[in-house]
Structure formats: structure tokens, C-alpha cells
């Protein structure tokens, strides 16, 4: 592991801990050249299928794009980064369990909306407005009315 301060290649592991969700190991390291301490994370390399976009193009699945979209939808909402990370992990597990080589982008979008719907209605509407490409206020109103009906059981 290259030291971020001096670029030295020799270090020693001072401490290792398993993450709360058990998917990674956090390691505290110390550079043997300059004694700088830094943290690294070790994860299993995940195989993720390619995403089939609406126009038929294929591109590698990028969890960071999903997290970015969710984070934008949750901006200034009471949603923690732990909640977002949990959504990311659940989505990846779901995709790996159900899809081998390719997954439609529509499946990913629907799964994200389903999770946001349960977590935060405002974030859900924000995400849905971009994902479903709302053209005007009427489409927002229709979605909000649907949420109200669900909330009040009407």
C-alpha cells in the first residue's frame, strides 16, 4: 500500500476491524518510512452485470452513480449516509442474486424508487421526477396524490 504522504511502499498494520455490516475490513496502517498513519478499507471485489440503458446501450454497473442519484434526491432530508449505503448494498445483493450478465436500467430505477418510497416520500418524488422524466407540474401532482392515497388508505 503506497503511503499518501511520502509514497513509500512499506507499512505495517496497526489495527484491523470488521465493519458493522461485515462487508469490509478497516485497517489502520503506519508507514515505515515516515511514520504517517492512514486508514485503508478492504472489500470483496464484486462482479456486477452490465446495465442495459433505455436506448439499448450497455455500460458497466456503477454503484457510485446510484449513490449519487439517491444522495441528490435525499438532499436536506432526514436520511443518513448509513441509510443510503444500506440501500446500495441491498440493491447490489439483489442484482447479483437475480441477474448474471446484464440488468435493465429500468429494474435498477424501480428498485431505488421502491426503497426511497419506504424511506422518505419527498426523496422518492424527487428521484421519480428525474427517473420518470416528469414533463410538468401535473405529473408531480399525480405522484403526490398517489402517495396521499397510500398514506390515508383511500
Kindly state whether residues 62 and 132 are assigned to the same domain. yes
Q: 132 lies in which domain range?
A: 50-152
**Same domain? 77 vs 27:** no
Residues 39 and 58 in one domain: no
79: nearest Cα among 29, 36, 122: 122
Question: Into how many domains does the chain fold?
Answer: 2
Q: What is the pLDDT of residues 54-87, one digit of tens each?
A: 999 999 999 999 999 999 999 999 999 999 999 9
Q: Classify residue 4: in a domain, yes or no.
A: no
| Three-state helix/strand/coil letters over 16-44 | EEECCCCCEEEEEEEECCCCCEEEEEEEC
**What digits encode the pLDDT tens for the residues 20-65?**
777 789 999 999 999 999 999 898 777 889 999 999 999 999 999 9
What is residue 143's predicted lDDT score, i.e. its pLDDT? Answer: 75
Task: Output the pLDDT for position 151.
Answer: 65
Residue 32 lies inside a defined structural domain of this protein: yes
Q: What is the mean pLDDT of the chain?
A: 88
pLDDT at 154 over 60: no
145 shares its domain with 72? yes
Instruction: Please give the pLDDT value at position 145.
Output: 76
Amino acid at each position: 500500500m503506497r503511503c499518501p504522504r511520502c509514497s513509500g511502499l512499506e507499512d505495517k498494520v496497526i489495527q484491523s476491524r470488521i465493519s458493522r455490516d461485515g462487508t469490509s475490513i478497516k485497517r489502520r496502517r503506519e508507514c515505515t518510512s515516515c511514520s504517517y498513519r492512514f486508514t485503508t478499507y478492504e472489500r470483496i471485489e464484486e462482479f456486477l452485470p452490465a446495465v442495459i440503458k433505455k436506448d439499448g446501450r450497455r455500460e458497466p454497473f456503477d454503484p457510485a452513480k446510484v449513490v449519487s442519484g439517491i444522495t441528490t434526491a435525499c438532499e436536506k432530508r432526514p436520511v443518513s449516509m448509513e441509510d443510503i449505503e444500506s440501500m446500495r448494498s441491498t440493491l447490489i445483493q439483489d442484482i447479483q442474486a437475480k441477474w448474471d450478465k446484464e440488468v435493465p436500467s429500468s429494474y435498477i430505477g424501480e428498485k431505488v424508487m421502491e426503497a426511497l418510497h419506504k424511506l422518505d416520500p419527498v426523496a422518492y418524488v424527487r428521484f421519480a421526477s428525474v427517473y420518470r422524466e416528469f414533463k410538468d407540474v401535473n405529473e408531480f401532482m399525480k405522484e403526490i396524490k398517489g402517495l396521499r392515497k397510500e398514506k390515508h388508505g383511500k
